[in-house]
Amino acid sequence: MKKTLSSIRGLLFDKDGTLFDFEKTWNSWTSRILNEVSKQSDVSISALADAIDFDLKTGKLLPQSIVIAGTHRQVTAALHTKLSNWDFEHLESYLLDFVVETRQYEVVPLQKYFRKLKLEGLLLGVMTNDAERGAQAHLAAAGILDLLDFVAGSDTGFGCKPAPEPLLAFAKITGLKPDEIAMVGDSLHDLQAAQAAGMMRIAVLTGVATEDELKKHADLVLPSIANLSDLILKYSV
């Protein structure tokens, strides 16, 4: 582990479930959009919830929900199967407006955290399967957008996880080699993308996936990103 971490010069983070608490953010967003869309259509809220695997009784997304690791467009497409009278592009934009204004719950105080990493000379990025507009808004609200060397969403033009292309775009833009980068995320999509890109795979347990689900695919599993900064400092000296 020491040798691997000591070679890391760049960190690429997932957003939801990694930087921000997934359940607090996205269960709230999903409940809200289901209610709003149902009110504006003749489709029951239960039918809409079924389309994206949301449990109305518990108010939570089910583990297989497309909302958890899918792109914004994939979520729109899943809902659109029940909303054939809606224009797809309008629905996508409508849902994204709610994404932008949805409150985010930071896993750690992010501005202090990223400044600390920046002082260590690390190059930093965020790659999310959320839309770029939503990502930019959330990162700006957290006060870290200007601290990042790279931000990409599923619609930025590099593709989406678990494909390696968006991760390799970070390498190209920063001038780093893939084996000098660690991808940090809470889902199998993050780890699979890192594996395909030839990057270190760091899993955190602040998302929906369990340690048992992630550990077979990760080089390192941590409770949260809070533990990562201490390790980086330890192995960089």
pLDDT in tens, 141-173: 999 999 999 999 999 999 999 999 999 999 999
Q: What is the pLDDT of residue 144?
A: 98
Q: Are residues 133 and 217 in the same domain?
A: yes
Q: Which of 36-45, 81-90, 223-232 has the lowest mean pLDDT?
A: 223-232
Helix or strand (DSSP H, E) at 58:
none
Q: Are residues 128 and 208 in the same domain?
A: yes
Query: What mean pLDDT is predicted for residues 1-21?
Result: 85
Instruction: State the residue range of the domain holding 13.
Output: 2-20+105-236
Does 190 score more than 50 pLDDT? Answer: yes
**Which residue, 49, 70, 101, sits at the end of a domain?**
101
Helix (H, G, I), strand (E, B) or coil at 218: coil
Does 233 score more than 90 pLDDT? Answer: no
Q: Are residues 110 and 61 in the same domain?
A: no
Proportion of the chain above pLDDT 70, given as a percent: 96
Residue of 124, 120, 122, 123 whose CA lies nearest to 237: 120
Helix or strand (DSSP H, E) at 164:
none
Q: Go through 127-165 and write b for each residue having 16 or more CB atoms within 10 A of its CB, e for each that does not.
A: bbbbbbbbbbbbbeebebbebbbbbbbbbbebbbbbebe
Q: How many domains does the chain have?
A: 2
Q: What is the pLDDT of residue 37?
A: 96
Q: What is the pLDDT of residue 167?
A: 98
Q: Which residues contact 169 (CB under 8 A, 6 or more apart)?
A: 150, 152, 158
Q: Are residues 93 and 111 in the same domain?
A: no
Q: What is the pLDDT of residue 1?
A: 45
Q: Are residues 167 and 187 in the same domain?
A: yes
* Alpha helices, DSSP H, located in 65-104: 66-69, 72-80, 88-101
Residue of 134, 148, 133, 161 whose CA lies nearest to 217: 161
* Position 237 confidence tier, pLDDT thresholds 50, 70, 90: very low
- Residue 160 maps to which CATH number? 3.40.50.1000
Q: Are residues 124 and 187 in the same domain?
A: yes
175: alpha, beta or left, given left = phi > 0 and alpha = psi -120 to 50? left
Q: Are residues 144 and 207 in the same domain?
A: yes
